[in-house]
């Protein structure tokens, strides 16, 4: 039985979703390849695409590629000469993502960097890959605060920084975090709230995925 939240998510997707063959194939490849099914939902993908368009993005940084599902949604907001750099640790995920991105016709725009994000981020700074117009943080949760700090270094005033999974089923409200993922999200949320260089908030999300949230920040 699906909850009212899932039903409404389906209702919104039916009205506004434009998940096409390439995105559906990406989801299927993730299943077939036994990669965790933790991609953003179709409506969240569309939301990220809208945000990318809203900030007129030409350069996007993504931390955590998985199968490239969110990557494809965001890359489609870019102009032909736009660039999306996505950081991924797992070679299998990166390989499947590359295939999906190629099928979507986005290989020219998307550049996947293999390695630990905490090592790749300083490298991006060194090679002057920034400033990015939008950053999407969605890799492992414990170092979210560090990813955010590196994102700031790769930003300019007006850069939009979005971070997925910052509510974790509401576990962030607990004084003692029950796991390292919610602890990472909680530490990040507090650092974000205290940071004077951004204007930020969090949107709670419910639907086909578990109860969670996305933090949204704009660099002053």
Q: Give the interface segment with ligand SAH, choosing from 58-66, 151-159, 183-191, 210-218 (CB under 6 A).
A: 58-66
User: CB-hemisphere CA count at 13 Å for 195?
Assistant: 22
Question: Does residue 69 interact with ligand SAH by CB under 6 A?
Answer: yes
DSSP 70-119: HHHHHHTTS-TT-EEEEEES-HHHHHHHHHHHHHTT-TTTEEEEES-HHH
Q: Give the interface segment with ligand SAH, choosing from 11-19, 38-46, 166-174, 212-220 (CB under 6 A).
A: 38-46
Name residue 85's beta-bridge partners.
61, 111
| Cα distance between residue 128 and residue 188, in whole Å | 25
Q: Which is nearer to ligand SAH, 85 or 117 (CB)?
A: 117
- Number of chain residues interacting with ligand SAH (CB under 6 A): 18
Question: Does residue 164 interact with Mg ion by CB under 5 A?
Answer: yes
Residue 163's SS3 state is strand
151 close to 61: Cβ distance less than 8 angstroms: yes
165 close to 140: Cβ distance less than 8 angstroms: no
Neighbouring residues of 217: CB distance < 8 A, sequence distance ≥ 6: 160, 161, 162, 163, 192, 195, 198, 199, 200
Question: Does residue 38 interact with ligand DHB by CB under 6 A?
Answer: yes
Question: Does residue 181 interact with ligand SAH by CB under 6 A?
Answer: no
Q: How far is the CB of 165 from ligand DHB (least distance, A)?
A: 5
Question: Does residue 165 interact with ligand DHB by CB under 6 A?
Answer: yes
| Cα distance between residue 198 and residue 220, in whole Å | 5
Residue 134's SS3 state is strand
**Among residues 12, 13, 90, 131, the one that binds ligand SAH under rule CB under 6 A:** 90
Question: Does residue 9 interact with Mg ion by CB under 5 A?
Answer: no
Q: Which is nearer to ligand DHB, 62 or 133 (CB)?
A: 62
Question: Does residue 89 interact with ligand SAH by CB under 6 A?
Answer: yes
Question: Does residue 117 interact with ligand SAH by CB under 6 A?
Answer: yes
Q: How far is the CB of 73 from Mg ion (least distance, A)?
A: 13
Q: Which residues bind Mg ion (CB under 5 A)?
A: 138, 164-165
Q: Which residues bind ligand DHB (CB under 6 A)?
A: 38, 138, 164-165
């Amino acid at each position: 039985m699906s909850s009212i939240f899932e039903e409404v998510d389906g209702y919104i997707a039916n009205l506004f979703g434009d998940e096409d063959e390439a995105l559906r194939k990406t989801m299927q490849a993730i299943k077939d390849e036994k990669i965790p099914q933790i991609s953003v939902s179709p409506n969240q993908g569309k939301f990220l695409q809208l945000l990318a368009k809203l900030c007129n993005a030409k350069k996007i940084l993504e931390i955590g590629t998985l199968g490239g599902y969110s990557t494809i949604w965001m890359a489609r907001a870019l102009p032909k000469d736009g660039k999306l750099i996505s950081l991924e640790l797992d070679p299998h995920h990166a390989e499947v993502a590359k295939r999906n991105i190629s099928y979507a016709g986005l290989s020219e725009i998307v550049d996947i960097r293999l390695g630990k994000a905490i090592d790749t981020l300083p490298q991006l700074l060194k090679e002057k890959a920034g400033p990015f117009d939008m950053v999407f943080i969605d890799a492992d949760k414990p170092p979210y605060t560090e990813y955010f700090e590196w994102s700031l270094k790769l930003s300019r005033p007006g850069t939009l920084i979005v971070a997925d999974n910052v509510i974790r089923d509401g576990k962030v409200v607990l004084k003692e975090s029950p796991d390292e993922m919610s602890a990472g999200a909680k530490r990040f949320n507090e650092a974000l709230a205290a940071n004077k260089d951004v204007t930020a908030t969090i949107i709670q999300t419910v639907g086909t995925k578990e109860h969670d949230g996305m933090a949204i920040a704009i660099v002053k």
